């Protein structure tokens, strides 16, 4: 396999100066960049610090799943933020990162990626990227938010378990791509979108761009929220980042959390 160099100076080379990525912590191998980021944040790492690794031995996915992060192939990074917003608004930052990642992959690689609400990046019906946000807050407000991004970049094969639902940038593009360049582009896009988000502490200024990239929009979805399972048509998102689903009777329900399956994505037909 062609070697793709990933380290702090390589990312910095493409990133330039800005608040996002102001400090870069890099490890050749780590259990999870989210776990490391939490430790660094607790020790006082500044807002905008980026934590990155060449491979993870215990990458964490959503809902307690594992996240495979093979050496030299996947991009695993976690951003530390200390936003002055209410804790209940912090989950929207996941959507801000989803939008930023999708924009970066489109701008840099010309890939026709879409967002599967709330934060998977998909292409050709398969998953290219997942995002896991965690937060530490007290009665007085947010201490830190960490946003972990896992992008399948240079994988040419996947395990039997995920080969039908996962793809990589290299497979889609037909050539190896630079993880450092992708990391920098995602952070640059995030910096722009984060400033927009902070104006209102919600997604009012980003909703339109997000909805345009959303694979769910206008499609029949199966909502699998605990205790509330139904089918309907996804019509967009609101300023809180909730998915708006129109039921057969015309009623629109805002979905805050839970799994949403879309026909044709990850094999749901
Ligand atoms: C998902 O299940 O879709 C979310 C996957 C998130 C994976 C990333 S890789 C970088 C960061 N560190 C982790 O342990 N997880 C996130």
The CB of 241 under 6 Å from ligand 1? The reply is no
- Per the model's pLDDT, the better-predicted residue between 209 and 72 turns out to be 209
- Per the model's pLDDT, the better-predicted residue between 225 and 86 turns out to be 86
**Which numbered atom of ligand 1 lies nearest the CA of 32?**
14
The CB of 34 under 6 Å from ligand 1? The reply is yes
The CB of 261 under 6 Å from ligand 1? The reply is no
Calpha distance 183→203 (Å, rounded): 23
pLDDT at 45 over 80: yes
The predicted structure's pLDDT at residue 263:
66
Cis upstream peptide for 118 (omega within 30°): yes
Calpha distance 231→268 (Å, rounded): 13
- Per the model's pLDDT, the better-predicted residue between 220 and 58 turns out to be 58
Establish how many alpha carbons lie within 13 A of residue 177's alpha carbon, considering only the half-sphere containing its beta carbon.
26
Distance 211 CA to ligand 1 centre (A): 23
The predicted structure's pLDDT at residue 225:
74
Calpha distance 216→196 (Å, rounded): 24
Task: Give the mean pLDDT of 217-222.
Answer: 88
pLDDT at 17 over 50: yes
Residues 212, 131 contacting (CB under 8 angstroms): no
pLDDT at 98 over 70: yes
The predicted structure's pLDDT at residue 264:
59
Distance 151 CA to ligand 1 centre (A): 9
| pTM of the shown model | 0.95
The CB of 165 under 6 Å from ligand 1? The reply is no
Task: Give the mean pLDDT of 178-199.
Answer: 98
pLDDT at 1 over 70: no
pLDDT at 221 over 70: yes
Tokens 């999870």 identify what position?
32
For 138-166, the pLDDT digits (tens) are: 888 999 999 999 999 999 999 999 999 99
Task: Give the mean pLDDT of 246-258.
Answer: 87
Distance 71 CA to ligand 1 centre (A): 15
Size of the chain in residues = 269
pLDDT band at 186 (very low <50, low <70, confident <90, very high): very high
pLDDT at 269 over 50: no
Site to probe by mutation for ligand 1, drawn from 50, 61, 97 as the one with most ligand atoms within 8 Å of Cβ, is 61
The CB of 78 under 6 Å from ligand 1? The reply is yes
Strand 74-81 to 120-123 pairing: unpaired
The predicted structure's pLDDT at residue 148:
98
Q: Ligand 1, atom 9: nearest CA belongs to which residue?
A: 150
Number of other CB atoms surrounding residue 106 within 10 Å: 16
pLDDT at 246 over 50: yes
Task: Give the mean pLDDT of 193-212.
Answer: 97
The CB of 27 under 6 Å from ligand 1? The reply is no
Q: Ligand 1, atom 3: nearest CA belongs to which residue?
A: 130
pLDDT band at 16 (very low <50, low <70, confident <90, very high): confident
**Which numbered atom of ligand 1 lies nearest the CA of 31?**
14
Average pLDDT, the chain: 93
């Amino acid at each position: 396999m062609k070697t793709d160099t990933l380290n702090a100076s390589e990312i910095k080379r493409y990133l330039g100066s800005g608040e996002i990525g102001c400090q870069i912590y890099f490890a050749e191998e780590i259990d999870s960049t989210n776990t490391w980021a939490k430790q660094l944040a607790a020790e006082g790492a500044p807002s905008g610090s980026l934590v990155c690794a060449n491979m993870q031995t215990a990458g964490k996915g959503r809902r307690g799943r594992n996240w495979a992060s093979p050496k030299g192939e996947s991009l695993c990074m976690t951003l530390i933020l200390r936003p002055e917003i209410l804790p209940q608004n912090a989950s929207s930052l996941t959507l801000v990162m989803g939008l930023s990642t999708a924009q970066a992959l489109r701008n840099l690689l010309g890939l026709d990626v879409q967002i599967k609400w709330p934060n998977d990046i998909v292409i050709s019906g398969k998953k290219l990227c997942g995002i896991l946000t965690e937060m530490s807050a007290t009665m007085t407000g947010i201490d830190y938010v960490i946003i972990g991004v896992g992008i399948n970049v240079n994988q040419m094969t996947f395990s039997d378990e995920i080969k039908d639902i996962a793809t990589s940038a290299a497979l889609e593009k037909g050539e190896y791509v630079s993880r450092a360049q992708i990391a920098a582009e995602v952070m640059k896009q995030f910096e722009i979108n984060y400033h927009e988000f902070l104006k209102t502490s919600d997604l009012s200024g980003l909703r339109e761009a997000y909805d345009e990239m959303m694979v769910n929009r206008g499609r029949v979805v199966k909502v699998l929220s605990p205790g509330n399972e139904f089918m309907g048509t996804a019509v967009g998102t609101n300023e809180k980042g909730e998915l708006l689903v129109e039921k057969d009777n015309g009623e629109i329900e805002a979905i805050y959390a839970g799994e949403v399956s879309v026909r044709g994505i990850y094999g749901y037909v």
